[in-house]
Structure 1
Amino acid sequence: MQILVPILILLPLGVKSWHIHSFSTNHILRSSTHTTLNKNQRDFKPIQLSQSDVFEPSYSSEVYFWSKERTEDEIIKYCARSLFPHEEFSVARKRIEVISPELPLLVIHDFLPKDMCEEIIKKAEQNGNLKRSTLGNSQEESTERTSSTTWLRKEQCEIPLEILSNKISRLAGIPSQNCENFQVVRYNGNGEKFDLHTDHLDSFNDLDVRGRLATCMLYLNSARSGSECGGFEGGCTQFPEYDVEVQPKRGSVAFWFNTVERPAFNDSSEGRGFSDESFLNVDLRSRHAGTPVVGNEKWVCNRWMHPVPFMVN
């Protein structure tokens, strides 16, 4: 599948104030990651955990938070309350970076402990099913996306993925049954990359799961910085619309919406939910790219959210 869009050329605008840098790009948006995915993704069995550090999703708010535009201050307060309820606000807010209130596009640090990130990598390697990543509905290999992918269910890495799942649901306001399994991606240090793309395409509305509302990408290891040993070089996540690139940092997540529409999952007057007549239009501001990785491997874990239940419980 191909989408024709103009070549995007950006001029450098200077370095942003956070660990996110400006850049220039002339990539062409041509394809998307695959939504229909592997058929066995629907083979899902929920698990019960009693650990006190597991976040239980809560959707008690009268109005779905993301169903309307929010200010940066509102977003920071919402994320601090939802994700770091046991910390003082002055501490929690330092973990939250709002690149843009609209898309929205956020980077949240210390989202998952480092040891749990390492456990996810270990389980992905033990899974023994890392395969060349593919593009679009055709699941074809491409030089635009040169990485390896495997899928993990929550029971394959119980505590880390249960905590991650519930925190993502708290952040997005989308129930976990509307989410895909966890996609773990490895980029080898020989220049593997992912060219400019969106995670949702308008054509995905024809699928049963209707498309990807939002993306949460967890960085499982860190890029090298300064004289720091280990890590990898490159591997940034570029967002050309905002002229920034996010530096991978273990335990941090990047979160954004992929569609113009954001159906609310409640019966409030501001959001009646998703219906069969609803159409999700791709928001081109969400296009992003993974720059070539040099040196050691880069690992990320993706979680995609849909407007309808995705997994069979």
Structure 2
Amino acid sequence: MQWRFLNTGQHFPGMNMALDEAIWQACEAGTSPPTLRVYGWQPPALSLGYGQSVSKEVNAAACQRYGIEIVRRPTGGRAVLHDDEVTYSVVMPITLQDGSRTLTEHYHLIGLALAEAFTRLGLDIRLARPQRSSKERQAPSPACFAALSRYELSVSGKKLVGSAQKRGQHALLQHGSIPLSLDRQRLFQCLRVPPEQIETLVQEAYATMIAVHEAATAPIAINDIHEALRLGFATTLAAPVVEGEVQPEEWQMARELYAAKYATAVWNDDGAAAWRQRQADIAR
């Protein structure tokens, strides 16, 4: 099965999320092929997981001071500061060619493809093994990169890529952040944590988070990362991953999702439950 590779450049945070969801919806409907997309953010953004609370977990004043937009993802997980990074998204059928279809199997397959990509770039990559018990889980944190989840990538035990997933009946969306550099101080300033704890959290983050430019022994160009990702997926999937374009119907759906969902305070601030209630009220 041939895959489509999209490099959509930088977009406004809400449009990035809208386009990911539009491509996922089109694949769910059977009108779009499996897709690997790479993109960036302008302006920088703090993205929240589907179930996170802005009032409890975000320092909105700090985000405004730094020019950082707040956007809620359609996927779960914890907060991610998107700035100097490559973001990837994968949209693919739920059922793989070998018949597997579980959440863990998909994380594993995509993790292998990402690992192949970064091995090509000379990084000593490891895949985090699935957590088997509550004793192995680290204390919860509002920041995504504070802990490794199943089949996420690490270098020297430090998390390199944070990923989250959304699943439908026929297709899934997994997207993730690949930081080129990390501003740990700014990340925790943008989260609602006690000011006296920020420096401790920043120091701990040097032991748990890592960026591409920190892990690499020589500079890596962003275009080289894009190409390594394309080849990493092609090799792991044993399928061609061919450069393509976003279809007009996908752009139209993305614009509609942006206006109705990802540009609204109901979705971004009040949360997914409030947005669903609003949609139900509109439908009456």
TM value normalised by structure 1: 0.27
TM value normalised by structure 2: 0.29
